[in-house]
A and B are shown apart, each in its own frame.
Chain A
Amino acid sequence: MDAELAEIRDFLAAHHPFDLLPALKLQDVVRTIEIRYARKGSRLIVPGDKVEFLHIIRSGAIETHDGDGQLLARLGEGDFCGVRSLLRGGTAINRSVAIEDCLLYLLPAAAFERLRQTHRQVDYYFAPMGGGRLKESLDLSDGRREINLLGVRVGDMLSRTPVTIAPTTSVREAAIRMRDERVSCLLVTEEGRLDGIFTDRDLRIRVVAEGLDADTPLRRVMTPNPICIGADDYGFDALLAMARNNVHHLPVVRDGAIAGCITTTNLVETQTTSTVFLAGDIHKQTSPEGLAQVLAHLPELVLHLAESGATAHHIGHVVSTLTDAATVRLIQLAERRLGPPPVPYAWLAAGSQGRHEQTARSDQDNVLVLDDAYDAATHGAYFHDLSHFVCDGLAACGYVYCPGGMMAMTDEWRQPLARWRRYFLGWIEQPEPKALLFASVFFDLRLVHGAAALFDTLQPTILEHTRRNRIFQAFMASNAMQHHPPLGFFRNLVLIRGGQHDRTLDIKHTGIGPIVDIARIYALAAGVPAVNTRERLEAAQMAGGLSTESAADLRDAFEFISLMRIRHQTRMIRQGQEANNFLEPRDLSSFERTHLKDAFAVVKATQAILADTYQTARF
């Protein structure tokens, strides 16, 4: 009878791309396999060898070094060794040595070749490079991705037709209607147009507490022109809109018509650790200490979001939004203490907060743009005190002071609009190393609080100059080449050698950083105002600076690497460790490792295009 080699089959079935083979085919593959044992120190493949097998590591570990002795890869259980040689025709050029006792499943070259020919998914996997694979991995990698806020469209969360009422109706009638319909809010409409919203909270605060007559028309007490959300938006967008605006009800609009209303309760039913609650709590605090206590829950929230399958893009949005909320609250507290500002000002977030890409309480980066009516002698003390109060408060909340001092509390970065304009023009017209360091932080500005007009005046000026100045772009491009993805010539992960982070990958500086830099350059060159990396890539693509394919590849690579970082950090936090950016490849599944390599390869390819476009070798 047929021999069922369950152990081998199950192992292969658990590893990509064999998991994609039909069960019968997998049996065939198993029957072609040979198994060998290699003692620690055995040379498995040496340069010049004819490689006859795809080596699949069942247990143990292998290191591959190039001719110069440089470590190219460290491979562990479920990894493949010898792929490059096989794809190149069979002759090895690197040295692979067992660094632990190894059990190796060997797939003969001929069987491997046949499998690649008959099964496209196998060929696709082993084919030298393809960014397209990444996208799938984002969908495939999390089998337990639940139905949650991030995947549900607002339109699908509506359980009933909207309860609408005319603005001329009395408050009493409105209350009766709310009781009968068992709703906490009414949409006030006139001729099918949404005029306002009236909630039971309004009833308490604006009617009863104010002692208004029950005959008061709704028009006087409703919230006019409420913030709405589209039926096609995700539940998560609704959550953020509520958190940002500190409201509990959002009318839902579909094709210009009112489709219903969604409430905090609707959302919270699906999400327990709610951003709404955290944001709401932030706004209730009256001291930096209180804020710090609320924000202590942030790692928990990120953990929860990551586990429930949120994308890195969404997590970045949530965390940055909460940082914004804390910043705004601190500014309000400062103003309460110092009195109203003597001249208008704008508080801007820079760096990852500016880009909506914070995934934890990281360094704070912020600046203060003052109205040109600012006079240092008379107003200096006020803004000095305000910025110190806010930055100190943020530090108390866990956002450590920026080591480079890029904060509103630094005199240099608390300046009138005209001065800021000079700063930027200086950086753009005379790019120099120090300027470029600032540029990476200060070109990612976003208004958090204050006079929007100041920011709206500054930004177009900056973009106008960055768009036109090709030399500046080239300097930025050259600067972006300083960090390479840790990918060897043969698609192996290249690890940090020695030091505290021996044999790890710096996923922040060599993975995420380069993509952020690339997106910034394309955005500045296209004069795009977006600062979020994903939005920048999309906008740059629309503007024609980036091919559709490159933009999609980069966006997927960014999402994947960011998600890997978040998972790494939540894993460390769960183990009670300080989260860092250093990934140990052996902690990754073979699936994760493969796609991390794909993502790095995308970055590498784009860097090459950028280098070519701007001839960065000349700088």
Chain B
Amino acid sequence: MRPLSASPLGRRWLAWRAPPGPLRNYYDHHVAILSTPYDRAHLLAIDLETTGLDPETDEILSIGYVPIAGGRVHLAGAAYHLVHPLGQVPDETAVIHGLLDGALAEAPPLAEVLPRLLAAMAGRVAVAHHARIERQFLSAACRRLYGRPLAAPFICTLALERRALILEGRKSGDGDLRLGSTRARYGLPRYRAHNALTDALAAAELFLAQAAHASGTKPARLGSLMG
């Protein structure tokens, strides 16, 4: 099935519906089509750290992203932004990502940061581990700021992994699909978790590993990786 956001016509429709500004600019760029081999596509690995898991009530605290092009991660395009939250950071999540009110107080609000992310996403297919979080939080943010949800093509490395394990006939336990454990299965090094940029980088590398393993004699096409 082809998501609306991944087809040229669909994107024109979405752009027309979006108000002028960052969101419309985002839709105005073409993204790779589903038949593009992964090593020729432009992608952007993204990770968010948030105050919780509910996109309606919780807030984005930091955003990390790094582009992938030509089958390689490009660190030159890596970026990391802290976001000034409207409310307080709950202690139980602060211990995970280490972002405290003090550090965030100086940060710009989401209204300033989101356009930069959308600009980076323009023309690129997003990649994230457990992409539902990123998709939902970004969509909620767009709705709040621009009045329209975000419809963006996402590749979820967690979903890819679950599918790969099922194809191999293996059951996956709770912890098996976490970013770190999944990376370990591909011989990828252990990175410190819960920094948005490091996690984005970790997801980018994981995507390349998964795509390499999903490829036969020819590189896998994006459509087969989007699930």
Interface residues of A (CB under 8 A from B): 1-8, 11, 30-39, 58-60, 100-103, 106
Contact B75 A5 (CB under 8 A): yes
Contact B78 A60 (CB under 8 A): no
A3 CB contact (under 8 Å) in B64, B107, B192, B213: B64
A5 CB contact (under 8 Å) in B81, B197, B205: B197
Category for how many chain B residues contact A: 20 to 34
What string of 1s and 0s marks CB contacts (under 8 Å) between B189-204 and chain A?
Answer: 1011001011001001
Contact B198 A6 (CB under 8 A): yes
- A39 partner residues in chain B, CB cutoff 8 A: 212-213
Contact B73 A34 (CB under 8 A): yes
CA distance in complex: A60, B197 (Å): 23
Interface centre among A33, A34, A37 (most CB of B within 10 A): A37
Can you list the 8 inter-chain pairs with the closest CB atoms, starting with the nearest?
A35-B73, A37-B208, A3-B80, A34-B72, A101-B187, A3-B78, A37-B209, A36-B72
Contact B82 A37 (CB under 8 A): no
**Contacts known (A1-B82, A4-B80, A59-B188); A103 close to B205, Cβ less than 8 A:** yes
- B188 partner residues in chain A, CB cutoff 8 A: 37, 59, 103
- A32 partner residues in chain B, CB cutoff 8 A: 75-76
CA distance in complex: A281, B192 (Å): 53
Contact B187 A59 (CB under 8 A): yes
- A100 partner residues in chain B, CB cutoff 8 A: 187
Contact A7 B212 (CB under 8 A): no
Looking across the interface, which residue of chain A has its beta carbon closest to that of B73? Answer: A35
**Contacts known (A35-B204, A37-B209); A30 close to B75, Cβ less than 8 A:** yes
Listed A/B pairs (25) with beta-carbon separation below 8 Å: A1-B107, A4-B197, A5-B75, A5-B197, A5-B201, A7-B191, A7-B201, A30-B75, A31-B75, A32-B75, A34-B74, A34-B75, A35-B205, A36-B208, A37-B205, A37-B208, A58-B189, A59-B188, A59-B189, A60-B187, A100-B187, A101-B186, A101-B209, A103-B188, A103-B189
Contact B79 A35 (CB under 8 A): no
The reply on B123 being an interface residue by CB < 8 A is no
A6 CB contact (under 8 Å) in B187, B195, B213: B195
- A31 partner residues in chain B, CB cutoff 8 A: 75-76, 78
CA distance in complex: A59, B186 (Å): 10
Looking across the interface, which residue of chain A has its beta carbon closest to that of B215? Answer: A39
Q: Chain B: interface secondary structure?
A: mixed
Further contacts, 18 of them, CB under 8 A, given A5-B197, A34-B73, A37-B209: A1-B80, A3-B64, A3-B66, A4-B80, A5-B78, A5-B198, A6-B192, A31-B76, A32-B75, A34-B74, A35-B208, A36-B71, A36-B208, A37-B208, A59-B187, A59-B188, A101-B186, A102-B187
- B79 partner residues in chain A, CB cutoff 8 A: 3
CA distance in complex: A8, B202 (Å): 11
- A103 partner residues in chain B, CB cutoff 8 A: 187-189, 205, 209
Minimum C-beta distance from A112 to chain B (A): 15
- B81 partner residues in chain A, CB cutoff 8 A: 1
- B66 partner residues in chain A, CB cutoff 8 A: 3
Minimum C-beta distance from A109 to chain B (A): 14
- B64 partner residues in chain A, CB cutoff 8 A: 3
CA distance in complex: A30, B107 (Å): 24
Minimum C-beta distance from A586 to chain B (A): 15
CA distance in complex: A59, B213 (Å): 16
Minimum C-beta distance from A33 to chain B (A): 5
CA distance in complex: A6, B98 (Å): 15
CA distance in complex: A38, B208 (Å): 9
CA distance in complex: A106, B189 (Å): 16
CA distance in complex: A474, B74 (Å): 58
CA distance in complex: A254, B157 (Å): 73
Looking across the interface, which residue of chain B has its beta carbon closest to that of A35? Answer: B73
Contact A3 B208 (CB under 8 A): no
- A34 partner residues in chain B, CB cutoff 8 A: 72-75
What string of 1s and 0s marks CB contacts (under 8 Å) between B54-96 and chain A?
Answer: 0000000000101000011111101111100000000000000
Looking across the interface, which residue of chain B has its beta carbon closest to that of A33? Answer: B75
- A101 partner residues in chain B, CB cutoff 8 A: 186-187, 209
CA distance in complex: A30, B212 (Å): 24
CA distance in complex: A102, B212 (Å): 11
**Contacts known (A30-B75, A60-B187, A101-B186); A3 close to B209, Cβ less than 8 A:** no
CA distance in complex: A597, B208 (Å): 34
CA distance in complex: A33, B78 (Å): 11
- B72 partner residues in chain A, CB cutoff 8 A: 34-36, 106
- A3 partner residues in chain B, CB cutoff 8 A: 64, 66, 78-80, 197
Interface centre among B73, B81, B201 (most CB of A within 10 A): B73
CA distance in complex: A577, B199 (Å): 42
